[in-house]
Amino acid sequence: MAFRAGERCRRWACRSWERSGHARDPATRDTADLAAERTFRSGLLQATVEIRDDWHTLLVDGAPRLGFQFAPNYVAPNWPDGESQQMHLDLYVDDIAAGHAEAMALGARLLKRSAHPESAERFHIYADPAGHPFCLCWG
């Protein structure tokens, strides 16, 4: 797969979380459908999943990197053209066509294509099955 598994984001999250002294998920996201979120994120990031009732943790290289908790009344943000995004992940890919195809096959929804794919800011904006925004970046 072409993903570098959110390399820059992962490095930042790991370092900042480890410095804080915590040993669990560096970021937690709400979802009304844990199974859909688990399938999508584990496929996209090539991660394994630790399941604890209404809490799932994505493990990359054996370490916790992203958590999901069941929130039955979760409402997805309306971003990039509406309300605040809350937070998003930048996932870096070597091949945007392959990354796009894989993300879409896993259930992503394309929200906005890069207006200028050859510019310095090369990214498309997507939503995961629960509506959390993320970007596929390249270049």
Of residues 103 and 116, the one with the higher pLDDT is: 103
For residues 3 and 93, the answer to whether their CB atoms sit within 8 Å is: yes
User: Alpha carbon of 47 to those of 13, 78, 108, 112: distances in Å?
Assistant: 15, 27, 17, 26
Domains of the chain as residue ranges with CATH: 7-70 (3.30.720), 89-137 (3.10.180.10)
The string of pLDDT tens digits covering residues 55-93 is: 898 988 888 888 888 989 988 877 777 666 567 788 888
pTM: 0.62
Residue-level pLDDT at 85: 56
